[in-house]
Structure 1
Amino acid sequence: MENVISQHKKEFEELPQVIVEVPGTCTLMGSYADACKGWSVVGTDISTLFVAISQRDDQMVRLTNATLNDRKRFSLSNIKFRKEDRWGNYIKGVIGILAADGVALTGMNVTVEGPLLVSDNQMVSSAIAMGVCMALNELLDLKMSFSSIIRVIYQANTTFNNELCKISDLLTMLNGKRGKVLFFDLQHLTFQELAFPFTDASEEYVALIVDSKISPNAMREEIASKRRAIEVAFSRLKELKPGGFIRDFPEGDLSARVVPLDEDSRHICEYILMESRLTRDSALLLNEKDAIPYGKVMVRIQTGLRDLLEVSCPEVDWLTKRSSELTGCLGAVLITNGFSGNVMILLSKQALPSYISRLEDYEHIFGFHPRWYIYEGGGSAKVVFPNHT
């Protein structure tokens, strides 16, 4: 927090009145389950960003991104999307929605700072919008409920910015707890809090996240293209299902080619329905702290990602294959946390040193120095200044 305070003071020659810290989210399983409104398991993660705000006595809004060393500005009388404003549009969107709701606004100085700002657009847009909305709620004493905050953010990101925005991510940011994950039923937008048993406090197994450090754009375009294909595939599948929830479509009808889908669409639907079902099963395994079958679920999902959905890269394949060669490694799967090529490895504490030593070979082969940490689950988005506790 000290860094965002000093950056705000340096840029605007005043201290911020409100600071909000927002964590990123990590989808452990069910990254694509929104396509069939299935199930997902999501927790907050270690990367965060800060939003600092102070009021001005005019109608200007000045923005600085201390992490990217970038600046933007606009007037409250002219809140328009401009492609060249990039991250600044995520702040504009929230301010624009609040203004349309009748909130009386004055000019303001806004500083954003933190490692989460170099993640993908979906994560950055959600986190910045969350921070700005919560900061204005505090600054202007708007007394907004969680549901009102989520509505403003979702509308700002989808309508104003035309960005993909997941309600489950926003709920996770607001409800995240250390050592906990949220199990979502995306059809009904409900969630259940689960203890995540594979943290450093575990006596036997830990969940290691390895950041492959590949280029941020290495998989983003591929995944964006795949999401467009997913939308097309499920629109076709919905036409073939007479009623009920699409997540309940019989997987056997797809594998047996009973339904008239092209091969690419069939593979996509087959994978996502399987991923969703396996994610639902994994929630029970987490409750029971049953590491071995949970690891097998991770392997099945990763195999489907690679072979059916065809979302992978050589670096990810190397990291997952090396884990399968070690005694004590139970499974590995590509996760979604805003950064390209992050893999979760479930392994025994005894196997941990052996796997970490193999990461030296990874650096020699690919030229990237991977970062790793044991997943613990983070906290929730919160006002950190002023501190009301």
Structure 2
Amino acid sequence: MEQLVEAHKDEYGEKPAVMACAPGRIHILGEHTWFFKDKTLSMAVNLPVYIGVSKRSDTNLRFNFVQLKEKKRSTLSSLKYKKEDKWANAIKSVIYGFGASGFECSGMNFTVYSEILPSAGFGITNAVKIASAWAIKELHRFKCPLEEIMRVLERANMQFYGNAGFKADNFTVIHSKENSLVLTDYAKNTYDILPFKFKDKIVVLTDARVPRITTWNEESLFQPENVLLLGELKERRANVYGGWYYADNGPEVNEVLSVVNEDLRRHLVCVMNEHKNILKCEAALQKEDFATFARAVNHSHEDMRDLYDISCPEIDWLLKRVQELDESPDDLRNPVNCGRITGKGFGRCTYTILRKRDLEAYKEKLAEYERIFRFKPEFYVVKPAKGVRLI
């Protein structure tokens, strides 16, 4: 990675001793259901983040993000979250995590190189974090097996950021393989690699450039009493992935959820529907059944829009145009394309899975979008990528 080497040398006067690369990431389905011990289906994508690191002779820490032209600094003795440090907090959290796990780090110089900026929302900050973990471990020759690195990352989230983090983020960026998706099971704390082998399809990520606006407090959903409510509706089923399913009985669902207000009820129903859609996607991926997979994805976006209240007219317009690329857009049973809003919280991005021949038509729709909404979208044609590695 010549650009990374040169940037590190220009900034610090020496080449990086270690370099690591981690992929970006999107969540296909389920990023809002982790608190309920459900499942998340994710894709690591070939939007790589490169980290270069070298040791210092003191306890200082220096950070340089090439594309942002931003430099940050800290010390080993003052590792704490600072809003103004933005992306550098990701690296600081990992250093903190190693220290909290009994590993002693030296002062270090870091260079971050990524053509995609963290603001895009494609898991770039998480890629910075995990690539840094791999680079720091190698630089110091820490005897740190994968299980211990996972604990380092957990401490980085819990003790530095003050949140639990998302296992699907880590599992995807660490374990992903080419032409595959990663399915995280929060109930079992496990993951599986699923084949993604739909022929004649491409994946397009679109940053709609819509300002992010929080429309409701998602934390209000993540309460223990809501977990208990949905727990009453979980049924064991040996013939489905993970061994359980949410109840289909309408009267039973209505009775259990009758104790909550209408907004909360819709959000909880969305959580239930999302789990069902993930199970459909899992079965469809195993059978290479794109129509079933696409229906589940499209239904998921409808739920995000109508039940979970996180979409917006601009995102909905883009995804409606994706459906119109089909010669028979009213044939909802056999879609040839699909798409959904993506991102934790209230995202501004979409992923679409298109026939290759529809890419040019989709670009025309993006130009039309810009004329109508006055936001200039950015798009990236991507594919499933392998996980973090040293280079």
Tell me, what secondary structure is at the counterpart of 1:256? helix
Deviations 1:228-252 (A, max 9, x none): 13214x6335268569789855363
Tell me, what secondary structure is at the counterpart of 2:301? helix
Tell me, what secondary structure is at the counterpart of 2:318? helix
- 1:350 and 1:88 map into 2 onto residues whose CA distance is 40
Structure 2 residue 281 is the aligned partner of structure 1 residue 282: yes
Q: State the superposition RMSD in angstroms.
A: 2.8
Q: Is the 8 A contact 1:254 1:270 kept in 2?
A: no
Deviations 1:238-277 (A, max 9, x none): 2685697898553635752543111111111100111012
- 2:209 and 2:291 map into 1 onto residues whose CA distance is 29
Counterpart of 1:235? 225
Write the letter of the residue equivalent to 1:326.
Answer: L
Deviations 1:89-146 (A, max 9, x none): 3222222232233323222111122134423789354322212211111111113222
Moved more, 91-100 or 314-323: 91-100
Counterpart of 2:362? 355
The alpha-carbon distance between structure 1 residues 7 and 333, as it changes in their structure 2 partners (threshold 3 A), is same
Counterpart of 2:332? none
Counterpart of 2:319? 320
Counterpart of 2:75? 75
Structure 2 residue 390 is the aligned partner of structure 1 residue 383: yes
Counterpart of 2:254? 256
The alpha-carbon distance between structure 1 residues 239 and 355, as it changes in their structure 2 partners (threshold 3 A), is closer
Write the letter of the residue equivalent to 1:49.
Answer: V
The number of aligned residues is 374
Gaps of 5+ in 1: 385-389
Counterpart of 1:387? none
- 1:340 and 1:155 map into 2 onto residues whose CA distance is 26
Counterpart of 1:8? 8
Query: What is the TM-score normalised by the length of structure 1?
Result: 0.86
Counterpart of 1:332? 339
Counterpart of 1:271? 270
- 1:155 and 1:122 map into 2 onto residues whose CA distance is 23
Q: Is the 8 A contact 1:33 1:40 kept in 2?
A: yes
- 2:182 and 2:150 map into 1 onto residues whose CA distance is 17
Query: What is the TM-score normalised by the length of structure 2?
Result: 0.86
Matches within 5 A, 1:171-210: 171-198=171-198, 202-203=199-200, 206-210=201-205
Matches within 5 A, 1:92-131: 92-119=92-119, 123-131=123-131
TM superposition shift of 1:364: 1.4
- 2:376 and 2:137 map into 1 onto residues whose CA distance is 41
- 2:230 and 2:15 map into 1 onto residues whose CA distance is 59
- 1:143 and 1:253 map into 2 onto residues whose CA distance is 55
Tell me, what secondary structure is at the counterpart of 1:126? helix
Among the aligned pairs, what percent are the same residue?
26
Gaps of 5+ in 2: 237-243, 328-335
